[in-house]
């Protein structure tokens, strides 16, 4: 069994990816969130696939080097993304 971190229900594992769809109050807030996540992803050298339309951000996490499947690296980044998202919900 692969090791996992305790991540919130904002993530679902599907098609060998961790997926999440997030909604923000507006485009500016969505972009601020993405900028914070980008800095963390760069620091971790693990970059998400994501898309943005106005106030919605869709994220997929998976590890290319592991054959395009979910690994502990994805769970670690998912946990950091949750922490960032929690700041925007406050």
pLDDT of res. 5: 55
Identify the pLDDT of residue 89: 81
Distance of CA 58 to the CA centre of its chain: 8
Residues 63-79: tens digit of each pLDDT:
988 888 899 999 999 99
Parts of the chain with a pLDDT under 70: 1-8, 90
pLDDT in the model for residue 1 = 39
């Amino acid at each position: 069994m692969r090791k996992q971190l305790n991540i919130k229900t904002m993530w679902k594992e599907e098609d060998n990816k961790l997926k999440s769809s997030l909604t923000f109050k507006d485009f500016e807030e969505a972009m601020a969130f993405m900028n914070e996540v980008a800095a963390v992803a760069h620091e971790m050298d693990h970059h998400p696939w994501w898309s943005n339309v106005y106030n919605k951000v869709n994220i997929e996490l998976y590890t290319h080097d592991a054959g395009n499947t979910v690994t502990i690296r994805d769970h670690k980044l998912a946990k950091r993304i949750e922490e960032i998202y929690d700041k925007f919900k406050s």
